[in-house]
């Protein structure tokens, strides 16, 4: 599915941020989201995100916008009231979650997975699954603030140790413990190894 022609052209690189929309979370997560938005703008990258004005989503988008960066939000219409559309930036309102994720994927060169809930987890697993199936070679970076993703990373390791996932899948993602590390990994994406599948 191709992206709608209504999206304003952007010549630079874009990063898709998957993150939570909950407001009652650790201040450390909100601070990291704000820092990520600002540093993305300063690095000249466009921020692509879920379009909401609440939680980590809103914090990152506002920060990127205030720092002079380009921001593209993509929001399903049925979530407009729940996630409070942030329309100070370029925003598409679409009909479904599938359309939202497809546009976010098409418009991005890399993915950063910040702390979030089950929706964030679903988005991360989907882009990892697509990578496992050779559908893309874009970097997937877990922003592991305060060890938030350690349990998920342990599950991925368990899947490898049990033979359900090939050991080569470890090349399918990287982990950054700070925003600065995530930005550095984004900027070094051309040097990241491609996922090489083990022979069955």
Q: Which pLDDT score, from 0 to 100, does residue 84 have?
A: 74
DSSP secondary structure letters along 169-190: GGGG-EEESSHHHHHHHHHTGG
Inside any domain, residue 37:
yes
pLDDT in tens, 63-93: 999 999 999 999 988 887 666 778 889 999 9
Q: Which pLDDT score, from 0 to 100, does residue 194 have?
A: 61
Given 3-state DSSP classes, what are the helix, strand and coil percentages for the chain, each rounded to the nearest 5?
A: 45, 15, 40
Q: Which pLDDT score, from 0 to 100, does residue 81 have?
A: 65
CATH number at residue 38: 3.40.50.450
Q: Which pLDDT score, from 0 to 100, does residue 189 have?
A: 83
Domain count for the chain, please give it.
1
Q: Which pLDDT score, from 0 to 100, does residue 86 have?
A: 81
Inside any domain, residue 31:
yes
Q: Rounded to two decimals, what is the model's pTM?
A: 0.92
Cβ atoms of residues 34 and 59 within 8 Å = yes
Inside any domain, residue 193:
no
pLDDT in tens, 6-20: 899 999 999 999 999
Walk along the chain (200 residues) in steps of 10 and give the mean pLDDT of each run.
Answer: 68 97 94 98 97 94 98 89 79 92 96 97 96 93 98 97 95 97 93 57
Q: Which pLDDT score, from 0 to 100, does residue 1 have?
A: 41
Q: Which pLDDT score, from 0 to 100, does residue 155 have?
A: 97
- Domain around 137: 14-188
Inside any domain, residue 110:
yes
Inside any domain, residue 195:
no
Inside any domain, residue 3:
no
Inside any domain, residue 151:
yes
Inside any domain, residue 200:
no
Cβ atoms of residues 127 and 106 within 8 Å = no
Q: Which pLDDT score, from 0 to 100, does residue 193 have?
A: 56
Exposure string of 15-52, with b = 16+ CB inside 10 Å and e = fewer, is bbbbbbbeeebeeebbebbbbbbbbbbeeebbbbbbbb
């Amino acid at each position: 599915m191709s992206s709608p022609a209504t999206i304003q052209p952007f010549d630079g690189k874009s990063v898709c941020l998957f993150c939570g929309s909950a407001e009652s979370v650790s201040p450390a997560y909100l601070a990291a989201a704000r820092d990520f938005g600002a540093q993305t703008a300063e690095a000249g990258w466009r921020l692509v995100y879920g379009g909401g004005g609440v939680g980590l989503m809103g914090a990152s988008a506002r920060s990127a916008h205030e720092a002079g960066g380009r921001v593209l939000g993509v929001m399903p219409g049925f979530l407009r009231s729940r996630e409070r559309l942030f329309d100070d930036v370029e925003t598409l309102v679409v009909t479904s979650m599938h359309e939202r994720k497809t546009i976010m994927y098409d418009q991005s060169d890399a993915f950063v997975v910040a702390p979030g809930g089950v929706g964030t987890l679903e988005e991360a697993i989907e882009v990892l699954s697509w990578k496992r199936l050779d559908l893309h070679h874009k970097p997937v970076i877990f922003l592991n603030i305060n060890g938030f993703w350690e349990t998920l990373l342990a599950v991925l390791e368990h899947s490898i140790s049990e033979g359900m996932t090939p050991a080569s899948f470890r090349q399918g993602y990287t982990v950054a413990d700070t925003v600065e590390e995530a930005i550095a990994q984004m900027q070094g994406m051309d040097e990241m190894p491609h996922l090489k599948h083990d022979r069955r």
